Each structure stands twice: as structure tokens, then as C-alpha cells.
Amino acid sequence: MKNNQSAVKGVPLYRSGTYTMPDSRGHFDRYGGIFVPETLISALEDLATSYEHLRNDTAFLSDFRSELKHFVGRPSPVYHAQRWSEMLGGAQIYLKREDLNHTGAHKINNVIGQAILARHMGKKRIIAETGAGQHGVAVATICARFGLDCVIYMGSEDVKRQAQNVYRMKLLGAQVNAVESGSKTLKDALNEAMRDWVANVETTFYIIGTVAGPHPYPMMVRDFQSVIGEECLIQMPEIAGKQPDYVIACIGGGSNAMGIFYPYLDHSGTALIGVEAAGTGIDSGRHAASLTAGVPGILHGNRTYLLQDEHGQIVKAHSVSAGLDYPGVGPEHAHLKDSARAQYVFANDEEALSAFHDCCRIEGIIPALEASHALAYAVKLAPTLDRDSVILVNLSGRGDKDMHTVARRAGVEW
């Protein structure tokens, strides 16, 4: 592969100073691990070995950093939501603008890293699952960029909710397979992608979009996404005069949150807050808050908090945002919850929609409904703090994809 070191240096991926998880088998204390069919064990071992070598390779890192700079447009800026902060009358709210990335979300950071890894491993067929469609669009984009075959699995309910992203994927040359089983959402798309991988493991690379799945995926996705928080460590003192008192991000599987949380784990003065989707309310049973209302179990190759019934069966998740509509969460978030290094709260559909509209009308930014959950909690928190306090919200994506959903909820004929 071409060494782009002359254009962008091979800067190592972020490594925490004192935080060393996961262990060699992918355990974040009692969470994570590898729970997959025997046919995938060898593939996962090869992946872990390749990644462990390449994460220290100058040529690989140069390629990764070059694509982030010249194709994605990084670094993404930090923006002071000054008008909104003044109206709320408390802490200053800053937004990490991942919505300005090429393809419109944070997802492409990880996808580029995994796609370059796939090329190093000689894999020319890529599969992926997607919920809101942003991960699918990112995968289709990079497959077009690198000339790789691309198959995307997406629940048929999400296909309806995210028709624009489905068309974008097809324009980029991807084959989009609508999944009709189960709840017809992200969980079921991931199930189908796993089945495809089992059947085609020799030729296929599976790009998982979140910090879940069997080891090494939770660690690998976190490492590639840590560019978000890594940039914030430099940007926040420049724009706000200090590191944030609070870092807030929405939680589905949790990749955007781990991307901004990880570089701040050693900063004890910064509180980390993940915001889950409460749907129509925790008590209603129609939500996606697995850390708030779930219990530990095993799903999609790892042990983590899951939404389950009394018989241990996975129950259907619900959120107005397709990207948070998942009955589990990444295992590292489960560990951070139990260790109390991060706090996990929730916002319901109506709160997220209210924050969505406020962000549009006050700051001129149309956020994704996923990120609107994080904004909703920031709006609650800010007035309780003094004006010198700083809140940093990871604005993980833009809301172009959510126009149909928002319009329907407002009774507007599209």
C-alpha cells in the first residue's frame, strides 16, 4: 500500500496512560469476550493479530491519518453554542461537530480504519449492518473509494425510516439487503450480517459499526473513533480555556460516546455522561435504555447489558432514532457504568425532538435525532451549573436523514 507519510505523519492511535482495558481476550472486567460459532474463532484471531501489528505500523497509521484529513475533512471543529447557552442561563455548551464529516456522521472514522485493515488482510468483499443508515453509507462510501464489493444488511423497518440513506448506499454501489426477521431493526440486521460472515469467512471482512461484538471489535472501533476525543483535548483549551467539566454523548451501541470518552478517562475532573434512548418512557417498556433498565447477558458475540424478559429472551427496543434502536450496548460502557467512571442517563422521544427543534432554530444546526438525545440532557444540566462550567456535547451526526421522521411526528405531509 502507498505510504502517505510525506502528507500526514503516522501518528499512533490514542492510548490511555493508566487505563489498560481490555485484556488480551477482550474482557472489560466481566464484560466483552468472544462468544461466537467455532467457524469464526480463527477469523477473529487473524483479525486480532493483524490489528495488533498494524496499530503500530507507520504506513498503516499514515494511510489512516491521511484519509481522515483529506477525505473526511478532519479535524472536525468545536463550536460554542453561545446563543443557546445564554438562553439557558447556566453552563457554556460546546458541540463537537462530527456532523460536518464527509457522509455526515462520526461513523466514517472507524470505517476507514477497518477498510484499510481489510485491504492489508487481502479481503475484497465487505459486509456491514446498519440502523440509521449512517454506518451503511460510510461503508458504501469507502468501498467505492477503495474499489471493494459491498453488502449492507438493514432491518426493513429502518429501510422505511431511512429511505434517503438506502438510496445513497445504492448510488454508491452497495447491495442493500432488507431484513424481515424479528423486529426488523438493527439487532436483526446484525444477526443476518453475522450469518453471512459465517458462510463467507474466507473472502469477507465484516465492518462492525459500533463498540460491540466479539473481541477485537469493541477495542478496535474505540481506537479508531478516539480521534474525536483526541482532537477535543487540543481544541477545548484553545476555544474554552480549559478541558470540559462534562462530556455528553448519546448511547446506542456506543461508538461515538467511546470515541470522545476514551481520551478523557484519565481526566478525573471531567465527568462522562452517556444518554440512552428512553423512547416513550422507561416504565412503558418501549425504550432502548439497556444500561438503565437491562441486565447482563450475551448477544452478538459479547457479554454486556441487554434488554431481556424474565426468560432471558431479547426484547424489542424502541426509539424515535433508528441509530439508538438496539437492545444492547458496547461492553466497555457496561464496565464504565459498573466502575462509576461514567454516568448513564436517558432522554425520551419528546425530549429529543424538543432539543432537535431548539438546536435548529437557535443555533442553525440540524442535528441527528441520535445526537438530539445528548443535547436534551445538556439542556437539562446546563441551567443547574454556573456560567463558568463547560459542557461538551458530541454532535455525532447531522439530521438530513431524519427529515421524514420529524415531519411525520409534526403531522407534516412530506
Catalytic residues: 107, 129, 396
Nearest one of 240, 270, 284, 267 to 343, comparing CA atoms = 270
Nearest one of 28, 103, 20, 18 to 67, comparing CA atoms = 103
Residue pair 164/322 in contact (Cβ under 8 Å)? The answer is no
Rg (CA), the chain: 20
Cα 112 to Cα 135: distance, rounded to the nearest angstrom: 11
Nearest one of 366, 305, 300 to 338, comparing CA atoms = 305
Helix (H), strand (E) counts: the chain: 16, 14
Nearest one of 281, 269, 264, 261 to 333, comparing CA atoms = 261
Cα 36 to Cα 56: distance, rounded to the nearest angstrom: 27
Residue pair 76/101 in contact (Cβ under 8 Å)? The answer is yes
CB atoms closer than 10 angstroms to residue 240: 17
The alpha carbon of residue 39 and the mean position of all alpha carbons in its chain are separated, in whole angstroms, by 27
Cα 103 to Cα 137: distance, rounded to the nearest angstrom: 7
Integer CA distances (angstroms), 384 to 92, 104, 337, 378, in order? 11, 32, 23, 10
Residue pair 293/344 in contact (Cβ under 8 Å)? The answer is no
Query: Quick one: cell of 154?
Result: 438493514
CB atoms closer than 10 angstroms to residue 340: 7
CB atoms closer than 10 angstroms to residue 266: 11
Residue pair 250/370 in contact (Cβ under 8 Å)? The answer is yes
Question: If DSSP codes are grouped into helix, strand and coil, which group holds residue 16?
Answer: coil
Cα 87 to Cα 95: distance, rounded to the nearest angstrom: 16
What are phi and psi for residue 271, nearest 5 degrees?
-80, 140
Contacting residues for 340 by C-beta, under 8 A, at least 6 apart: none
Residue pair 164/187 in contact (Cβ under 8 Å)? The answer is no
